[in-house]
Every structure is written in C-alpha cells, then in structure tokens.
Amino acid sequence: MSGDGPLSGLIVADFSRIVAGPYCTMLLGDLGAEVIKVESPAGDDTRTFKPPVRDDESTYYLAVNRNKRSVALDLADQGDLVLARRLAHRADVFVHNFKPGTTERYDLGYEQVAAVNPGVVYCAISGFGTRGGAALPGYDLLIQAASGMMAMTGEADGPPLRTGISAIDVMTGLHAAVAVLAALNHRTATGHGQLLEIDLLSSALSSMINQSSAWVAGGVVPQRMGNEHPSLFPYGPLPTADRELIVVAGNDRQYRTLCDVLERPDLAADPRFASVRLRNDHRDELRPELEAVLATRGADEWAELLTRAGLPCGPINDVRRGVEMATRLGLEPVVDVEGVPMVRNPVTYSLTPPRYRHRPPALDNAGESIRAWLASEASAKEPIGA
C-alpha cells in the first residue's frame, strides 16, 4: 500500500478529526506517507457536515482526507483498543486532537507510546494548550473569537465577522505538518522521536503576523477596517464605473505607476502623498481623487491598463472564477483522485511531486486489512494488505 514520494515508507497514525489534524496528515500523505485514518464507528464529524455534497459525501470531508485508508476502532472496546495501541507502537508519526488528558486514559499518551516506540514523532493538537486551557474545547470559530481575529474582521461600523474559511484550523494544520517534518529530520540525525504540542490559539496569534505584532511590539490594538490595510493605501478595492477593482500600491514606485496610468502626475508630486506613511496618514484626502478618475472607465478596462503597466490589480472573484483563473494561468488547480475532483497540493516539486493515490476513504474502507495487519506479528515495516 506504500506509495512513491519523499515520505514513502513512513506510517502515520491519524487519530485526528475535523480539519487541523486531517489537513496536516493529508499533506503528509500527498508526499507518500502511509496514512491510517482511525475513526470512531460513527466516523469523522465532517462526514456529516452537509451540504454541499458530491454523491451524498460531504465536500467538507472530501477536502482534507485524500491519500488515507480508514479503519473504525472503538476505543471503549478492549479488542479495538489493543489494535489502536499496536498501531501507535508501529507508527512513525502519531497525530491526534483529543482534548488534553484523553489519550493517557487509553495508554495512548506520549510517554506511554514512546516507552514502546521511542522513535515516534507524536503530534498533539489542542484548542488552548495543555495548561490552563486544557479543559477548554477548541473549535475554529471559538479560536477566531478568542484570539482577536474576529474583532478585527469586518467593516469598521459593523459587527465582528469570522473568516470565510476555517482559517485557524488550516494554519494549525500547516504548522503541524512543518513541525512533523522537522522532527522527522531530527530523528534521522539522532534516532530520537519527540513530542510536538500545538494549540489553535498559539497558531492563530502567530498567523496574525503584523496584527498581533501591532499589539505585542507597538501597543496598538488592531480594529476593524473592512477591506482597508492598516499600513498601506491604496491597497484594496476601489470603485470604478461598473464594479470594484483591487488596486495594490504597496510602495512608492507602484504609487507613481498608478498616478501615471490615471494621468494624474499631480497626485504623485503632492507632498501629502509622497511616501507610504504619508499616503496612509492622508488616505481620506487621496481616496476621492483616485475614485473620481477610476469612475471614468470600467474595471476590466482599468485592469488591462494597470496590469500592462506592471501594477498589481484584479477583480474580486467568487471561488468558481478563482479556480477558472488558476486554470487559465496554467496552474492546474484541480486533480482527479479516483473519480473525485480535488484542489491539488499547492507545491510543485522538481523531483518528488505529490502523488494522489487514494480518494478520501469511506468509513472503515480498509478496516479488514488494517485489523489483520495489526493483529499479526508482522514487522511494523511490512506492507499492509490491499
């Protein structure tokens, strides 16, 4: 069952569910790791997140579970628990997002697993960490609220808003994947596995980059600004004769290019707008000047003129148009995985490209073969049956 790729031959025991853990393990599976998705008899929660669906399967579930084989194990059943422990003892990587303290009750905690499998890279994902927040449940929406992300998302005079995706779950999954790869490299050099702990709140604070730094380093609490950038202007949507157009002038050179295309050299020469800092300070004076010129043509015409001049700009697409744009640009955003269209792994490798070996599995689709492998005295590296 092992596949080609830089992680080929590694066994990942994926005891996670929802998004953060499954996204991490899917990325590892894309690179050739053998990912065994352990589910309760009820299955991963996202199997029930409907609509939308494809052939009655949740597209939410499909999005983060390719390149895995599923086995349903009931940890309340002693026989299944024995198999779960055997998997942990054979795995190179163990990923879970149980509430802190849960795995220890099943002898699946890090110390318990590492006592038998000292080389294991054990990645524990939680909502608020293992200390004061250990008892708190972690969901993306809750962390968006707790971290401050919602408070700075939305229009200035509107309510706080969540992002359109489970952004913190995805970023946590990325952080987890990076950590696993670093720990595997360390194991190659030293022979030692280790415990990795990542919580959604810490991941959120790290991922908010300039906004969290605004408070930590500058003592400034970011506020909602809609589509405005706190440090740059123009940098966002501006109205044209027919619809809004994203216009990016992130430095002085780009601003001068914008003024040239708009045929407003006076705005480039105006001392109020001479630098990034000054344009930011005087955005309320600069905005109507730009909008007055942009109102004379439609968004498509301006986009052509600005793009030709080398200025970043573009329409506000829906997801369909975003995929279509990536396709037009030759990025090949969609791959077919055993009949299921999926968004491809975003990284292009010159020597070790991602492999799309398995469609997201049906619940317990490999249960029989995985159970037989775990029940046997086979070597941990012996291939699991088809």
Tell me what pLDDT residue 1 has.
39
Residue 36 pairs in a beta bridge with 13, 69
Tell me what pLDDT residue 2 has.
43
Tell me what pLDDT residue 384 has.
73
Rounded to 5°, angle at Cα 167 from 162 and 171: 150
CA 366 → CA 2, 41, 282, 320, 363, distances in Å?
A: 14, 13, 62, 34, 8
What one-letter code names the amino acid at 141?
Answer: L
Of residues 89, 186, 229, 358, which has the active-site annotation?
229
Tell me what pLDDT residue 379 has.
58
Q: pLDDT by residue (tens digit) across 81-111?
A: 999 999 999 999 999 999 999 999 999 999 9
Nearest to 130 by CA among 158, 96, 82, 161: 96
Query: 186 an active-site residue?
Result: no
Q: pLDDT by residue (tens digit) across 304-351?
A: 999 999 999 998 999 999 999 999 999 999 999 999 999 999 999 999
Tell me what pLDDT residue 4 has.
81
β-pair type (194-199, 235-239): unpaired
Tell me what pLDDT residue 381 has.
59
Low-confidence ranges of the chain (pLDDT < 70): 1-3, 378-383, 385-386
Q: Three-state secondary structure along the chain?
A: CCCCCCCCCCEEEEECCCCHHHHHHHHHHHCCCEEEEEECCCCCHHHHCCCCEECCEEHHHHHCCCCEEEEECCCCCHHHHHHHHHHHHHCCEEEECCCCCHHHHCCCCHHHHHHHCCCCEEEEEECCCCCCCCCCCCCHHHHHHHHCCHHHCCCCCCCCCCCCCCHHHHHHHHHHHHHHHHHHHHHHHHCCCEEEEEEHHHHHHHHCHHHHHHHHCCCCCCCCCCCCCCCCCCEEEEECCCCEEEEECCCHHHHHHHHHHCCCHHHHHCHHHCCHHHHHHCHHHHHHHHHHHHCCCCHHHHHHHHHHCCCCEECCCCHHHHHHHHHHCCCCCEEEECCEEEECCCCCCCCCCCCCCCCCCCCCCCHHHHHHHHHCCCCCCCCCCC
